[in-house]
Amino acid sequence: MTDVRAPEAATTEPRLPGGPARGAQGLADWLKWGWRQLTSMRIALVLLFLLALGTVPGSMLPQEGADPAGVQQYYTSHPALAPLLNHLGLFNVFAAPWFAAIYLLLFASLVGCVVPRTFRLAGSARTLPPRAPRHLARLPHSAEYGTTLAPDRAVEVAAAVLSGHGFRLRRPDDPADAWVSAEKGYLREVGNLLFHLALLGVLVSVALGGLFGYKADRLLVQGDTFANTASALDEIHLGRLATDADLGPFTITLNRFTASYITSGAQRGQPASFDAQVTYAARPGGPSRTDSIEVNRPLSVDGTKVYLIGHGYAPVFRVTDARGQVVYDSPTPFIAGTTGNFLSDGVVKVPGAQPEQLGFTGVFVPTWVDVAGTLQSAFPAAENPAVSLIAYAGNLGMNSGAPQSVYELDTAGMHRLTAEPKLLLPGQSLKLPGGQGTITFTGYVPWVSLAITHDPGQVPALACGIAALGGLLLSFLVRRRRIFVRARAGGPTSTVQVGGLARTDASGSFEAEFASLAAELRSAHSQHEK
């Protein structure tokens, strides 16, 4: 398809990809050549492929950010391969330097392409459409018909019609010539540039969020309150440029958590809904409000969002030591294991017991059944709760050394007190041998785990995403096209030739538009003949 190129629209593709032109081998020339290569479509294509390819290992291998336990497992199952992969950064692909290099190069290429084109677009808005070619019949779309109007009159009518359709017109310099040139569709390039710049905006927003935002976790037992401060959070990940002072000073109390499950049918045991009723205050002394946090419905406090991520059961234990003192009386969060139906594991540490410290490992079952001697959970709701405990006495290892996990018991310095795990129903007690004390399972309360996130780049990223979509639609829907009309005198009738050219129309939809425009011009001419 012949394509009449205006000089301002040509995209420069280097003729010699092997290097800059002969006779100009200085560093500046090499840099210029390198820059031209980087901003060429071919390299952009290669970079896009590399981006797609580089993303693949990030989805196939466990990544440190999302699944650190999986990474550990990979090390144990592939001891020779794992360190090599780690060296290549494949366990943290999206933060790896080589991945950053790919998308930074891609964006450099993008910027290097977009900025000159923006200048060109601004320039083309000032220049007129090109002159009408001599032989309109050679254009991909053309029409020809006769009219009794004089050539210049015919051109006037045509110009009026085209102008009515929003085309920009160009008239001949020489008044003797009878043609008009019309062009339309500059918005396409605007949309194109907007799309690419918006992508850059998304990248910047993501970076901003990562730098200035934070993510934190907190496990909260029903009835408890917590304040959003570094020492009260279980885990906190600050962005590079964020500090503890950026944590919004709100407090949340978990009043009540309810989970409902499907009780019958093929999906029995599947969760139906979760609901955490909370009271919160945005700042100390500020007004407190109540709200409910559900899945898909986070709580928004002063630009920070609090999400309900998980939940579980915290059985309540009361421990009396050998001296008869109540040394422990608290709900103890147990964590659900992988066996299902919220069969949960947990640990009770009683460092205050005298004369020996006490520790218990336990299993909490919300609806217990005995399956051939093993304890199983039949349903995730606490319809028939029970707890099974093994007791230890000795040194918990808490008086010195490294901080311990609250969910693990180090029995190295302890001796086992009970030979068999003991099952306790709510209200029942286990009397420890040797007069070491008693532990009573008094009941249970639910707990929730909350994720607190603050991402200042979130809203800008969304805005840029929407802008990108808008630019995309604009660049696809609008076509840059030109219509030329020439009128030649030929005896009693003039011959009107209409030619059409769509510059960026690889999709072929200009045909219908040209056909209807040609028909409209013809009918306009025949109307003016009357």
Partner 1 sequence: MFRTKRRAVVLVAAVITGALLVVVLVAGWATSGKRDVTDVNGNPNAVLYTAGHRPLAPDFTATTLTGSRLSFSSYRGRVVVVNFWGSWCVPCREEAAALAVAAQQYAPAGVAFLGVDVRDTTASAEAFARTFDITYPSVSDSGAQITLDFTAVVPIAGTPTTLVIDRTGHIAGAVFGQATYAELNTILGQVDGKAAAR
Partner 2 sequence: MPVNLALGHVSNDFLIAALVIYSLSVVAFAGDFAFGRPRRADATARVRQAREPATALAVVGAASVAADGASSQDRPVVSGVGGTQGTAAVPPAADSMPELPVPPLRAIGQAGPWIRAAMTLGALAVAAHLTAVVTRGLAVHRAPWGNMYEFVTALTCVAAIFFLFVMIRYRAWALGVFVTGAVVIALGLAETIIYTAAGQLVPALQSYWLSIHVTAMTLATGIFFVAAVLGLVYLAADRYARRISAGRAAPGNGIMRRLPTTEQLDRLTYRTIVFGFPVWTFGVIAGAIWADQAWGRYWGWDPVETWAFITWVLYAAFLHARATAGWRGRRAHYIQLLGFASLTFNILVIQVFITGLHSYAGVS
Residues within window 360-419 making contact with partner 2, judged by CB under 8 A: none
Q: Which of 20, 33, 39, 58 binds partner 2 (CB under 8 A)?
A: 58
Interface mask (CB under 8 A) for partner 2, residues 92-131, using x and -? -xx-------------------------------------
- 454 vs 482, beta carbon nearer partner 1: 454
463 touching partner 1, by CB under 8 A: no
Interface mask (CB under 8 A) for partner 1, residues 274-313, using x and -? ----------x-----------------------------
- 49 vs 407, beta carbon nearer partner 1: 407
Q: What contacts 112, CB < 8 A, 6 or more positions away?
A: 35, 38, 39
193 touching partner 1, by CB under 8 A: no
282 binds, among partner 2, partner 1, none (CB under 5 to 8 A by kind): none
Listed ranges 23-31, 355-363, 406-414, 449-457: which one lies at the site for partner 2 (CB under 8 A): 449-457
- Contact status, residue 499 vs residue 484, Cβ threshold 8 Å: yes
Distance between CA 168 and CA 496 in Å, rounded?
Answer: 20
Tell me which long-range contacts 50-56 makes (C-beta under 8 A, separation of at least 24): 50/102, 51/102, 51/103, 51/106, 54/93, 54/98, 54/99, 54/102, 55/93, 55/99
Residue at token pair 């040194």 = 395
- Contact status, residue 461 vs residue 205, Cβ threshold 8 Å: yes
Site size toward partner 1, by CB under 8 A: 41
Q: Which of 29, 64, 144, 224 binds partner 2 (CB under 8 A)?
A: 144
Listed ranges 68-76, 128-136, 289-297, 322-330: which one lies at the site for partner 1 (CB under 8 A): 322-330
Residues within window 334-363 making contact with partner 1, judged by CB under 8 A: 349-354
Shortest Cβ 356–partner 1 spacing (Å): 12
Shortest Cβ 420–partner 2 spacing (Å): 35
Report, in angstroms and rounded to the nearest whole number, the Rg of the chain calculated over CA atoms. 37
13 binds, among partner 2, partner 1, none (CB under 5 to 8 A by kind): partner 2
Distance between CA 9 and CA 21 in Å, rounded?
Answer: 23
- Contact status, residue 360 vs residue 327, Cβ threshold 8 Å: no
Shortest Cβ 470–partner 2 spacing (Å): 10
β-pair type (141-147, 344-350): unpaired
Shortest Cβ 33–partner 1 spacing (Å): 15
- Contact status, residue 353 vs residue 327, Cβ threshold 8 Å: yes
Listed ranges 31-39, 366-374, 383-391, 466-474: which one lies at the site for partner 2 (CB under 8 A): 466-474
Residues within window 482-511 making contact with partner 1, judged by CB under 8 A: none
66 touching partner 2, by CB under 8 A: yes
Residue at token pair 């601004």 = 122
171 binds, among partner 2, partner 1, none (CB under 5 to 8 A by kind): none
Distance between CA 229 and CA 298 in Å, rounded?
Answer: 19
249 binds, among partner 1, partner 2, none (CB under 5 to 8 A by kind): partner 1
Interface mask (CB under 8 A) for partner 1, residues 110-149, using x and -? -----x---x------------------------------
Shortest Cβ 495–partner 1 spacing (Å): 40
Please tell me whether residue 494 adopts helix, strand or coil conformation.
Answer: strand
89 binds, among partner 1, partner 2, none (CB under 5 to 8 A by kind): none
Sign of CA dihedral 31, 190, 204, 245: positive
C-alpha distances in angstroms, 122 versus 157, 358, 503?
A: 30, 78, 18
- 297 vs 318, beta carbon nearer partner 1: 318
* Strand (E) or helix (H) holding 216: strand 214-221
Residue at token pair 């779309």 = 141
- 225 vs 418, beta carbon nearer partner 1: 225
Please tell me whether residue 39 adopts helix, strand or coil conformation.
Answer: coil
Selection from 12, 103, 202, 155 nearest residue 484 by Cα: 155
Shortest Cβ 302–partner 1 spacing (Å): 14
- β strands within 343-411, DSSP E: 344-350, 357-365, 368-371, 374-377, 386-394
Q: Which of 229, 277, 388, 495 binds partner 1 (CB under 8 A)?
A: 229
β-pair type (251-261, 288-293): unpaired
* Strand (E) or helix (H) holding 416: strand 414-416
55 touching partner 2, by CB under 8 A: yes
Residues forming the site for partner 1 (CB under 8 A): 115, 119, 224-232, 243-245, 249, 251, 253, 284, 318-319, 321, 325-330, 349-354, 398-404, 406
